[in-house]
Amino acid sequence: MNSVSRGRLAPRVSVIIPTYNYAGVLTYSIASVLDQTYSDFELIVVGDGCTDDSEHVATSTGDPRVRWVNLPMNTGHQSEPNNEGVRHAIGDVVAFLGHDDVWLPHHLEVLTQAFDAGAVAAHTTVLRVDPGVPCYMAPLTGWAYERGLFVTPTSLAIRRETVIEVGGWRDAAETGVLLPEADLVARVCDVAGPPRWIPRLTCVKLAAGVRRNCYQTRPTHEQAYWLEQIRAADDPERVVGQHEGRVSDLASPESMGVPERAWRSARYRLQNRLRLEPSARTQLRRLQRFKGLR
């Protein structure tokens, strides 16, 4: 049963999409939310100081469940947009979706079943598609969660009060951990036990961190392809799952030149020999440069 919160009828689930100046992919991630078989949700799209057409994309759906929020300035990290989404959320459960990823239609349905059964946090199985390499299923396929492991946000949902209780999302400068979702889930695990894994394929992950300069070129062909495949299938879970182990020819990342490959190889060997580990902040800056965020 829905509850009344903040003066209006509250949905069961608040979906949060953090985004920054990549309006083209929002069309597909938002569409995959609106395609859900479970409809008792609100969708909060949070711009990290966006200056492109993201607001127009989010507000032109015509669906009253979709809200747009934009931070006054860019923070350079998904943690603050996610926290802003949690602050605006009125659902009992918050579910996170990367702006360049897509859900299969049953994603929220299977997650809410886990919460009906008493889960405080839950995550599903993801098909991660990396450019030029075989697709593979992740994360934790058949594994028991251990504190500190990575759980991709696109697969994750947590009770809102628990997210608030543990202090929300924190960035690398604060935690020393490159992946904020690993830090968040570890703190949730400390207070409520490990997240419940649902062995159902419900997401397609198209990670920006392995797509060089994607924030410069802003391609959308992969998102378009996967949403089309999902919508055309009588059984999207089976059809998407059949892509496991196949080589993706949909992405064409800029290849590194010989000098850059040689430098990276030498640097890696030196770090291993000296046991040097870059700080999380340094790793984050490198990742941002790789993605084309200058």
The H-assigned helical ranges of the chain are: 23-34, 54-59, 79-88, 107-116, 160-165, 172-175, 180-192, 214-217, 221-232, 236-241, 258-274, 280-291
Return d(Cα 91, Cα 106) in angstroms, integer. Answer: 19
Q: Domain with 26 in it: what CATH number?
A: 3.90.550.10
The total of structural domains in the chain comes to 1
The pTM of the full predicted model, rounded to 2 decimals, is: 0.80
Question: Is the distance from CB of 131 to CB of 210 less than 8 angstroms?
Answer: yes
- The number of residues making up the chain comes to 294
Residue 286 falls inside a structural domain: no
Residue 35 falls inside a structural domain: yes
Residue 261 falls inside a structural domain: no
Question: Is the distance from CB of 54 to CB of 29 less than 8 angstroms?
Answer: no
Q: Give the CA-trace dihedral at 101, 68, 186, 126, to 10 degrees.
A: -20
Question: Is the distance from CB of 104 to CB of 34 less than 8 angstroms?
Answer: no
Question: Is the distance from CB of 14 to CB of 112 less than 8 angstroms?
Answer: no
Residue 129: predicted pLDDT = 84
Question: Is the distance from CB of 248 to CB of 127 less than 8 angstroms?
Answer: no
Question: Is the distance from CB of 99 to CB of 68 less than 8 angstroms?
Answer: no
Tens digit of each residue's pLDDT (9 = 90 or more) over 210-236: 777 777 778 888 899 999 999 999 999
Tens digit of each residue's pLDDT (9 = 90 or more) over 63-114: 999 999 999 999 888 899 999 999 999 999 999 999 999 999 999 999 999 9
Average pLDDT, the chain: 81
Q: Domain span at residue 160?
A: 3-241
Residue 41: predicted pLDDT = 98
pLDDT-based confidence at 143, cuts 50/70/90? low
- Residue 248 confidence (pLDDT) above 70: no
Which of 6-10, 109-113, 168-172 has the weakest average pLDDT?
6-10
DSSP 70-133: E-SS--SSTHHHHHHHHHH--SSEEEE--TT-EE-TTHHHHHHHHHHTT-SEEEEEEEE--TTS
Phi, then psi, of 46 in degrees rounded to 5? -115, 115
Residue 34 falls inside a structural domain: yes
Question: Is the distance from CB of 35 to CB of 7 less than 8 angstroms?
Answer: no
61, two tokens:
């759906």
Q: What region does 59 belong to: left with phi over 0, alpha with psi -120 to 50, or beta? A: alpha
- Residue 137 confidence (pLDDT) above 50: no
- Residue 194 confidence (pLDDT) above 60: yes
Residue 224 falls inside a structural domain: yes
Return d(Cα 264, Cα 255) in angstroms, integer. Answer: 13
Question: Is the distance from CB of 160 to CB of 93 less than 8 angstroms?
Answer: yes
Residue 242: predicted pLDDT = 80
- Residues with Cβ within 8 Å of 242's Cβ and at least 6 positions away in sequence, in order, are none
Residue 221 falls inside a structural domain: yes
74, two tokens:
């860019």
Map tokens 């979702």 to a residue. Answer: 181
Residue 265 falls inside a structural domain: no
Residue 101 falls inside a structural domain: yes
Residue 133: predicted pLDDT = 54
For a pLDDT cut of 70, what percent of the chain falls above it? 73
